[in-house]
Amino acid sequence: MGNKGFSPLGLLCGCVVFIQTLHLVYGDVTYSIQEEMKRGSVIGNIAKDLGLEVGRLSSRNARIDIEGNRKQFCDINTRNGDLVVAERIDREELCGEKVSCIIRFELVLEGPLEMHHVLLHIQDINDNAPIFPKDLVRIEISESAVKGARFPINEANDADINENDVQSYKLERNDNFDLKVNTNADGGKYSELILYKELDREEKREMSLLLTALDGGSPQRSGTVVIQITVLDANDNAPVFSQAVYKASLPENSDVDTVVVRLSATDVDEGLNGEVSYEFSRISDLAAKLFAVNQKTGVIQVSGPIDFEEGTTYEMRIEAKDGYGLTSNAKVIIDITDVNDNAPVIYLKSLTNPIPENVSPGTEVGIINVQDRDSENNRQVRCSIQQNVPFKLVPSIKNYYSLVTTGQLDREVVSDYNITITATDEGSPPLSSSKTIQLSVADVNDNPPVFEEQSYSAYVAENNKPGSTLCSVTARDQDWRQNGTVIYSLLPGEVNGAPVSSYLSVNGDTGVIHVVRSFDYEQFRTFKVHVMARDNGSPPLSSNVTVSVFLTDLNDNSPQILYPAPEGNSFMTELVPKAAHGGSLVSKVIAVDADSGQNAWLSYHIVKSTDPGLFTIGLHSGEIRTQRDISESDNMKQNLIVAVKDNGQPSLSATCAMFLLISDNLAEVPELKDMSHDERNSKLTSYLIIALVSVSTFFLTFIIVILGVRFCRRRKPRLLFDGAVAIPSAYLPPNYAEVDGTGTLRSTYNYDAYLTTGSRTSDFKFVRSYNDNTLPADQTLRKSPTDFADVFGDCDGFPEVGTSFRFQSASPVGD
């Protein structure tokens, strides 16, 4: 580099091929050429510049000599002396970044040896473009980077120098960055990205910018680099819900874990910054029991029993939170829809129980209320009642029903009702429920006691023991308790003038009828009493029944011999004409029996006689007849002992003695009196008879007078007596009239009897009425005449007077 003495000005005018300076005497010659000249390009005529003889160049063996073994960039054309380019000259290769680039070589001539230094200044041309160290520059910038932040970019290099080196940079248009070009300490130019608008990763997470470096050459060359910017996330975004309000509808009774709604909040941040978790931020205690949110997925699920009736809408706020705690809220509204899950409920609001059986149809018995907790159609309820009861439901105010009777109740038919009320809602499927109301019908005393039979008949044998049971009557009353309790009693009345209570008594509780006293069939044969059955209600109801008591006969009366007088007292003697033929009626034993029927069916027997073959007695008539003609040889005095027996079981009997005198004339029998066992007695009897007849006559007269008076009052007792002979009352049967319950005289027995008091001529005959049931004589005697009339009934007229006296009952036979 000894040629530093060259004016730099000469270098600056490098475009000039020729150089004015020429150093003689081994002086140096300097040329300046641009790099990259073509081979053969003429640099200059060195022969001329050095003043060399062109013709001799060749002969002098002119040549270019390079120090060392460096490349021979130039050559000399020995024919004309031009210095030409022999090799490609690349300044950058030769000199790099050096500002001046000089190739030194010598021109050597021989003959004489002559050496000239030649300096070849290599001028730069813009043959290199700027080059960035890498094609791609990656930069990571946090999105949180603030405005003005600088991001230097490695400078681009250009092998050329000076003007041809990198002069400027250019950045592709973009939204975020500006470019600033700075100069290094060493003069190199580099660029910086300057953030003038913040990055948003969420908007653009990467961007590529093309940075171009330009040199100052002409033509200008450039180099580019791609700056790849990755925006790094910062937790600058809160999660964002997809909706501000989530609405969901959920049927009640949904199963646990049923998905109600899926929330979704997105956080555009990355990683933890974008990890969203969900939780309820405001929720009622009730809703908290029913719903749960999945922290990770944001799915709200059922976690408890959902009941529409508990709540129909739930509102809650939910919060989404990212990893670093940025949150946002959304509202969730869950509407519960009704499901027909509640059956109607029937409430009995009031009930009249028991209800009297006599309430009129249409009476309100109870009030029913029906409720259903569901809504709308599910709570529309219809109420019904079963068909077979006399009740119905009448709709009242909303959801209220009256239970009313539809017909007459009768406790004796149905005493209890189970009324089943069914309520059905109109849901789908409908639900129903039912309630059974037990209703009792209270008794009202509406049934009288009813006897089991329309009338009762009781049979009792006479001579019964007082206190014995006669029969029992039963009446039933359908009513309840005291309304159905039957009490028996005898209705007051009279039987034969005596109060019924002296005959019978009835057990008030059992209806058993007892006999109070002993009955005599011969006194009366039948009577009626009325028994009343009464219940204990208030007022009581009653019914009556007739009890007919029939007495039955016992053989308690022995036959009574009216004629002849009973044995021992008889003084009567029958005369039997001597001329009597066989079969002639001699006499007749007259006997009566107070009993009746078989017990009064008498038979007559001769138990002892003086001459057994002479007399017979009619078995039933009692007529004594001769069996054969009387003969002279027959004893005048004949004695017969006659027994009279009734047909009872056992039979009773009586005997009498009969004295027969076979004679035509009583006077013929001086020893008549001997026949008598006791003459004095006979005489006394005769006197007694006379006295009795007198008294009787007087009595009859008196009676007739009385009856006459009565007759004038149109009351006509029918007692007929005629003749002067009266039968001593002892001869009369003890009972002579029958009075039945109605006071009617009944069946009549007529007896014809012939009484002979010693003489056939003084026969008298009486026709008497003999009644089976007659009043006792003593009672009769106590009666007033009026009573007689009552007893005997009406008399048709005054008795006719005849040779017989008649004593009969006048009323028609009742049976």
Ligand X SMILES: *[C@@H]1O[C@H](CO)[C@@H](O)[C@H](O)[C@H]1NC(C)=O
CB of 716 to ligand X, least distance (A): 32
CB of 743 to ligand X, least distance (A): 18
Contact with ligand X (CB under 6 A): which of 418, 468, 627, 665?
418
* Among the residue ranges 241-249, 480-488, 569-577, 802-810, the one whose residues contact ligand X (CB under 6 A): 480-488
Q: Which residue has the tokens 């019964």?
A: 464
If one asks whether residue 703 binds ligand X (CB under 6 A), the answer comes out as: no
In terms of Cβ atoms closer than 10 Å to its own Cβ (0-12, 13-18, 19+), residue 370 is buried
Nearest to 113 by CA among 81, 65, 80: 65
If one asks whether residue 487 binds ligand X (CB under 6 A), the answer comes out as: no
Within 10 Å of residue 711's Cβ, how many Cβ atoms? 16
- How many residues bind ligand X, per CB under 6 A? 17
Q: Which residue has the tokens 């008399």?
A: 795
If one asks whether residue 445 binds ligand X (CB under 6 A), the answer comes out as: yes
Contact with ligand X (CB under 6 A): which of 344, 537, 622, 717?
537
Q: Which residue has the tokens 């001699």?
A: 586
In whole angstroms, give the CA distance from residue 806 to residue 766. 6
- Half-sphere exposure for 235 (CA within 13 Å, toward CB): 15
Q: In this structure, which amino acid lies at residue 697?
A: T
If one asks whether residue 532 binds ligand X (CB under 6 A), the answer comes out as: yes
CB 44 within 8 A of CB 6: no
If one asks whether residue 450 binds ligand X (CB under 6 A), the answer comes out as: no
* Among the residue ranges 305-313, 337-345, 362-370, 535-543, the one whose residues contact ligand X (CB under 6 A): 535-543
* Among the residue ranges 476-484, 665-673, 778-786, 799-807, the one whose residues contact ligand X (CB under 6 A): 476-484
Nearest to 9 by CA among 32, 36, 43: 32
In whole angstroms, give the CA distance from residue 625 to residue 576. 10
CB of 511 to ligand X, least distance (A): 15
* Among the residue ranges 4-12, 50-58, 537-545, 765-773, the one whose residues contact ligand X (CB under 6 A): 537-545
Determine the 3-state secondary structure of 559 from DSSP. Answer: coil
Q: Which helix (H) or strand (E) holds 10?
A: helix 8-12
If one asks whether residue 543 binds ligand X (CB under 6 A), the answer comes out as: yes
Contact with ligand X (CB under 6 A): which of 483, 496, 560, 626?
483
If one asks whether residue 289 binds ligand X (CB under 6 A), the answer comes out as: no
CB of 384 to ligand X, least distance (A): 18
If one asks whether residue 420 binds ligand X (CB under 6 A), the answer comes out as: no
Nearest to 730 by CA among 762, 768, 692, 700: 692
If one asks whether residue 416 binds ligand X (CB under 6 A), the answer comes out as: yes
CB of 479 to ligand X, least distance (A): 6
19 contacts: CB under 8 Å, gap ≥ 6: 10, 29, 30, 31, 32, 44, 49
CB of 544 to ligand X, least distance (A): 4
If one asks whether residue 491 binds ligand X (CB under 6 A), the answer comes out as: yes
CB of 530 to ligand X, least distance (A): 6
If one asks whether residue 542 binds ligand X (CB under 6 A), the answer comes out as: yes
In whole angstroms, give the CA distance from residue 632 to residue 6. 250
Task: Between 264 and 483, name the residue whose CB sits nearer to ligand X.
Answer: 483
If one asks whether residue 443 binds ligand X (CB under 6 A), the answer comes out as: yes
Beta strands in 756-803 (DSSP E): 764-771
* Among the residue ranges 83-91, 186-194, 443-451, 495-503, the one whose residues contact ligand X (CB under 6 A): 443-451
Contact with ligand X (CB under 6 A): which of 125, 232, 444, 704?
444
Dihedral sign (CA 382, 383, 387, 392): negative
CB of 445 to ligand X, least distance (A): 4
Q: Which residue has the tokens 């089943």?
A: 420
User: Going residue by residue from 331 to 350, which x/- string records binding to ligand X, judged by CB under 6 A?
Assistant: --------------------
Task: Between 538 and 803, name the residue whose CB sits nearer to ligand X.
Answer: 538
Q: What are the Cα distances from residue 475, in Å, to 478, 513, 530, 543, 610?
A: 10, 13, 13, 9, 68
Residues that bind ligand X (CB under 6 A): 416, 418, 438, 442-445, 480-483, 491, 532, 537, 542-544
